[in-house]
Structure 1
Amino acid sequence: MKIALLSYSTKPRGGVVHTLALAEALAATGEDVTVWSLGRGGDDGFFRPVDPAVRLRIVPFPDGPERETVGERILRSIATLRAAFDPSPYDVVHAQDCISANAVDGRCVRTVHHIDHFTTPELAACHERAIVEPYAHLCVSQSVADELTEGWGIKAEVIPNGVAYERFARTEPEARDAWRSQLGRYVLTVGGIEPRKGSLDLIEAYALLHAKHPDVRLVIAGGETLFDYRDYRAHWEMRAAELGIDPVVLGPVPDDELPALVAAADAFAFPSLKEGFGLAAMEALAAGVPLVVRDLPVLREVFGPAARFAATPEDLADQLGQALAHHDPVLRTAGRELAVRHTWSRAARRHLDFYRSLS
């Protein structure tokens, strides 16, 4: 079977991590897999090495004019990928996001990772078409599949993400010690500073936590995005200054350094307001790190007895404080047992079964 997986970026975002891991697992079964993506900012490859069994097609996507709006960038992204991609050689075309689904005019399988609500007209239209036009749908959690059914009458197959368990569970002590030497004790979050990630709530929570645990830092990693969150970031920075706190903002972390950064954390915060699965949080569980997540139905579904849940900044501060003070061995064991069950090889087999059911 010839399979094309389409993504909008080469940067380390959750959907891109998913795409590469799925592609490698599908190729490991002997399938012919090609990943197509836009190469933004001069990228000619992905943020990490990819198994050579997977073919890569990176479509150049140079930076636009200085005053290019988000909407204009979305339309240019769709047009650029559409002009480069020929679906005819493939048995399955599988789009992982709204840009790539629009680039093939909906003639694809689509994984809906989560439901967004955009105000930019071009992005809202892109999102809607990428839901209603594909001929088959996948979701990474039942909660998102239920949203698709309730909002659009669409039935989606649910195939959860895998996780690179060994990569996060077996980090080198020297690498963990290097992060601890640099940062001391810290609460980590991965995903950058943006509205969907609940970044403003997190600094409110950290200010409360810091009053009781002044030796614990807040560390934020990640942050590559197609969207423009400069106003939100400016508000976040202003609020942090008002609260008298100084979070450590690492930005994107090299892929080979990320597992040790996660494993060295004293707790992992995941206060997202909207998620489809929570891959970064599952990686934290694989590393044996105490996890505190937003109390959302989807995160209850995915993390169940393996995480602490918080609905408000006050709750988040309280639960992080408990995680720092009491490393619960029951939660730690439950987290690792949950993470180890989520394998990419199983996800790949289920994807293949789904692809074959469509023929």
Structure 2
Amino acid sequence: MRIALLTYSTKPRGGVVHTLALAEALARQGADVTVWSLGRGGDDAFFRKVDPAVTVRIVPFAARDGEDVGDRILRSITVLGDAFRHGDYDIVHAQDCISANAVGTCIRTIHHLDQFTTPALAACHERAVVEPTARICVSAAVAAEVRDGWGLEPTVIPNGVDSARFEQAATDVAARRRWAEELGEYVLAVGGIEPRKGSLDLVEAHARLAVRRPDLRLVFAGGETLFDYRDYRAEFDRRCDELGVRPLILGTVADDELPSLVAQATVFAFLSTKEGFGLAAMEALAAGVPVVARDLPVLREVFGNAVTFASTHTEMADALGAPTDAERRERGHALARAHSWDDAACAHLDFYAEHARAS
């Protein structure tokens, strides 16, 4: 079976991480897998090495001065679509709105649903939900949103987690010491400064926490995005100044350094306002780090009693500063280990075979 997985970027965003891990797991099951993506900013490879059993196709995508977000997304669709050839594959599986629009007839994984105010982007989002021939969601909560919004019935296949990688990082004393010496004790958030990640709420919570834990630093890692969050970042900076919060913003962290950064964290903050699964939080659980998550139905579904949920800034602060719960830590380990990429790949192969029979 010749499978094409398509994603929109080579950078370390959640959907891209998912695509590469799934591709490698499919290849371990004997599938012939090719990953397609746009090479933004001159990239000719992904943010990490990819198993050579997976074929990689990077389509050049040059930056244009003065291009707004909407035009860049529409051009992304055109460039990727012009390069891709359907006839080379038995299964075409798009992992996001851009690639689903680019290739047309496909299977689509809907990680989460977005809301766009620009008519052209709203139309792209709509097409990427309704036009695929079949849909996968990584959680039942997102599948329910699709069912309620469009009357469609996606199949739920949860994410896998590279649990062993983050468990090993927890035992890497030298790598963890480097972060401890540089950062001290810290609250970690992964995903950059953006509305969907609840970055402003984390600043508000940290300001309350700092009253009793002034030694506990606030650290952000990651942040690659297609969207323009300058106004949100300006509000973030303004509020940090007002509250006296001095976060350390690391930007994109090298893939081989991220597990030890996560493993050394005192607590992992996962205050997203919208998620499909929560892979970064699951990786933190694998590393034995307590997680504080926003109280969302999808996160209740995925994490159950393995994390601490909070809704208000005060609740968030209290949870971030709470002592480590050994029983919860063990539940987190067990939950992360239960999510295997090989299991996810087998479920995808079954789905592909059924889809091929029905087509």
Q: Same fold, TM exceeding 0.5?
A: yes
- AA aligned to 1:345 is D
Q: Give the alignment's Cα RMSD to 1 decimal.
A: 0.6
Say which SS state the counterpart of residue 12 (structure 2) adopts.
coil
Aligned partner of residue 246 in structure 1, secondary structure = coil
CA distance in 1, matches of 2:36, 2:72: 18
Q: 1:341 aligns with which of 297, 315, 338?
A: 338
Secondary structure at the aligned position of 1:293 is classed as strand
Q: CA deviation at 1:321?
A: 1.2
Tell me the TM-score normalised to structure 1 length. 0.98
Question: 2: CA distance between counterparts of 1:117 and 1:128?
Answer: 10
Displacement of 1:206 in angstroms is 0.5
User: How far is 1:122 from its partner?
Assistant: 2.3
List, as ranges, runs of 4+ consecutive aligned residues in structure 1 with deviation greater than 6 Å: none
Q: Which amino acid aligns with 2:77?
A: I
Deviates more, 1:338-347 or 1:312-321: 312-321
> Which residue number corresponds to residue 133 of structure 2?
135
Cross-structure match for 1:155: 153
Shift of 1:120: 2.5
Give the 3-state SS of the residue equivalent to 1:342 in structure 2: coil
Aligned residue identity for 2:89: Y
Q: Distance in 1 between matches of 2:134 and 2:149?
A: 16
Structure 2 residue 57 is matched with structure 1 residue 57: yes
- Contact in 2 for aligned 1:6/1:37 (Cα 8 Å): yes
Q: What's the counterpart of residue 197 of structure 2?
A: 197
- Deviation of 1:121 (Å): 2.4
- Give the Cα separation in 1 of the matches to 2:241 and 2:118: 30
For residue 70 of structure 2, what is the aligned residue in structure 1?
A: 71
Aligned partner of 1:178 in structure 2 is: 178
Q: How far off is 1:253 after superposition?
A: 0.2
Q: Name the SS for the 2:92 alignment partner.
A: strand
Query: Hey, what does 1:91 align to over in structure 2?
Result: 90
Q: What is the distance in 2 between the residues matched to 1:173 and 1:142?
A: 38
Q: 1:290 is matched with which residue?
A: 290
Q: 2:311 maps to what in 1?
A: 311
TM-score with structure 2 setting the length:
0.98
Letter in 2 for 1:187: V
Q: Deviations over 1:190-213 (max 9, x none)?
A: 000000000111100010011110
The residue correspondences of 1:223-302 to structure 2 (distance < 5 A) are 223-302=223-302
Deviation string 1:237-265 (CA, Å, 9 cap, x unpaired) is 11101111100100000000000000000
Percent identity between matched residues is: 66
> Does 2:101 match 1:102?
yes
Show CA shifts across 1:15-40 (max 9, x none). Answer: 00000000000001111000000000
Deviation of the 1:124 alpha carbon: 1.4
The answer to whether the Cα contact below 8 Å between 1:71 and 1:121 also exists between their aligned partners in 2 is no
How far residue 236 of structure 1 moved from its aligned partner, in angstroms, is 0.3
Gaps of 5+ in 2: none
